[in-house]
Structure 1
Amino acid sequence: MQFQIRASSDETSSVDAGELFTDLKEKWDAVENKSTVLVYGGGAIVAVWLSAIIVGAINSVPLATFFSYHQLPKILELVGLGYTGWFVYRYLLFKSSRKELATDIEALKKKIAGTE
């Protein structure tokens, strides 16, 4: 089985599916701690699933009595922009904060993997 990918230029490149699967298998075999990768992957899938459930539940709540439908998206956008600004200022703007965030993420990964 072969796939052909075309871009806007005249160049064409084809990818052999067998070669792709072989490459993926080699990379998977090179992974030392497969259980950790599976736990992270499964956790990501569960997180997306739970997020979809939460968004669906929030979407079903009638907020017309509190806000008009035209105001609510703007308010939520403002909340999101505010949180994004705070996160950038708190964790991404300064080098020491980035190091702190990286340390916190590594500690969380170790805690989840059970290696701490």
Structure 2
Amino acid sequence: MDLPNVSSALGILHPVCITKGRNAEVWDEAGQRYIDFIGGIGVLNLGHGHPAVVEAVKAQVDTLMHSAFNALPHRGYLSVVERLDQFVPVSYPLGCMLTNSGAEATENA
């Protein structure tokens, strides 16, 4: 697979380009079906296109697509951090920050 615009540091595991996914399967551009043992690197534990997940995503997109919390706070973020704080067994006030990577979490710890 020729990928001239993709950094060689990425290290492609499989030389196919997938076009769709359903449950635990994905298909490539040639229509070949594969079992998705990678699962989106952890984000697809319910599989591709699970009806409950699709419904929740559609409802959220209809409400609010995205907002950087530090620029425009929103209830979704607050709800998540309030719930997470309930699981931390300490008696002092907590401050929670959601990040998208371990590097970001480490930088802000």
Q: What band does the TM-score fall into relative to the shorter chain?
A: under 0.3
Question: TM-score, length-normalised on structure 1?
Answer: 0.26
| Structure with a larger share of its residues in helix | 1
Q: Which has the larger radius of gyration?
A: 1
